[in-house]
Amino acid sequence: MRLQAFGVTEPGAGTDTTRITTFARRDGDHYVVRGQKIWISRAEHSDLMVLLCRTTAREEAARPSDGMSVLLVDMREAVGNGLTIRPIRTMLNHATTELFFDDLRVPVGNLIGTEGQGFRYILDGMNAERILIAAECIGDARFFIDRASAYAREREVFGRPIGQNQGVQFPIARAHVQTSAADLMVRHAADLFDDGQPCGTEANMAKMLASEASWFAADTCLQVHGGFGFAEEYDIERKFRETRLYQVAPISTNLILSHVGNHVLGLPKSF
């Protein structure tokens, strides 16, 4: 049983989750879902999906974050019966899709938690997702550092290993330092989450630091390999493209900085 799909983002809402419009209307012992989602990864490879939708219109809710609910959708029954999945071709192998809901019927028993309180549940899931992605970025960074170090030791130009040159050696060393520091932040955020403590800020910071460490390591690795870094057989170009994603998703670096500025430093909200 695979639960890999997380249906939140919509074309007209982006990261402003309170403006989603996919609506689940109560009809007896079912919800009838209409709307659209985008950038939903692994939807084609998942048996179940956690779906965030509105059960009360935004303008009728007491607060913008109220009136959203979470449904567990059985993808095996839904596809072709109100749910259409359309793959999106991208520059990397991320298996992402658009979803179209046309009167999809979901049993009321598939409601997760309390109706109208779904935004709070999703936030908790987002913290876990950001910590998970941050840990993935640490692994990616170490991949790049290992590959760059090995190549710099073996590749000889002008009669000496290129890793003997500080212009090659120092960026690899800096990538290692940045990755080690980011790893500590990721572990701290994971410990807080595992203990059931508030960790929104730490999850955001971990994701930002790890994604930036990974991208710096990727750029360094490609530079160390020179032209060979663009050759498919070395796997560098593939991972280079993939790791760039994580400064955009699942949350952009700018929104993390906005969160820290507003919620940690007490600065005025910028939007």
Rg of the chain (C-alpha set):
22
DSSP letters of 115-133? TTBHHHHHHHHHHHHHHHH
> pLDDT tens, position by position, for the chain (271 residues)?
999 899 999 999 988 899 999 999 999 999 999 999 999 999 999 999 999 999 999 999 999 999 999 999 999 999 999 999 999 999 887 789 999 999 999 999 999 999 999 999 988 889 999 999 999 999 999 999 999 999 999 999 999 999 999 999 999 999 999 999 999 999 999 999 999 999 999 999 999 999 999 999 999 999 999 999 999 999 999 999 999 999 998 899 999 999 999 999 999 988 8
pLDDT recorded at residue 162: 98
Omega cis (within 30) before 107: no
At residue 13, the 3 state secondary structure works out as coil
What residue has token string 């941050």? 134
Q: Tokens for 81, please give them.
A: 């019966």
Which residues, in sequence order, are CB contacts of 205 under 8 Å at separation 6+? 185, 189, 256, 260
Among residues 115, 129, 136, 202, which one is catalytic? 129
pLDDT recorded at residue 163: 98
Give this prediction's pTM.
0.89
Q: For the chain, how far is it from start to end, CA to CA, in angstroms?
A: 41
Which residues, in sequence order, are CB contacts of 219 under 8 Å at separation 6+? 240
Closest CA to 246 of 171, 146, 136: 136
Measured between alpha carbons, how far is residue 195 from residues 32, 188, 198, 206 in Å? 37, 11, 9, 17
pLDDT recorded at residue 125: 84
Clarify whether 60 is annotated catalytic.
no
Compute the distance between CA of residue 130 and CA of residue 211 in angstroms, rounded to an integer. 10
Per residue in 253-271, is it b (16+ CB within 10 Å) or e — as a string?
eeebebbeeeeeeeeeeee
Strands 3-7 and 48-54: parallel
Compute the distance between CA of residue 149 and CA of residue 162 in angstroms, rounded to an integer. 10
Compute the distance between CA of residue 185 and CA of residue 139 in angstroms, rounded to an integer. 14
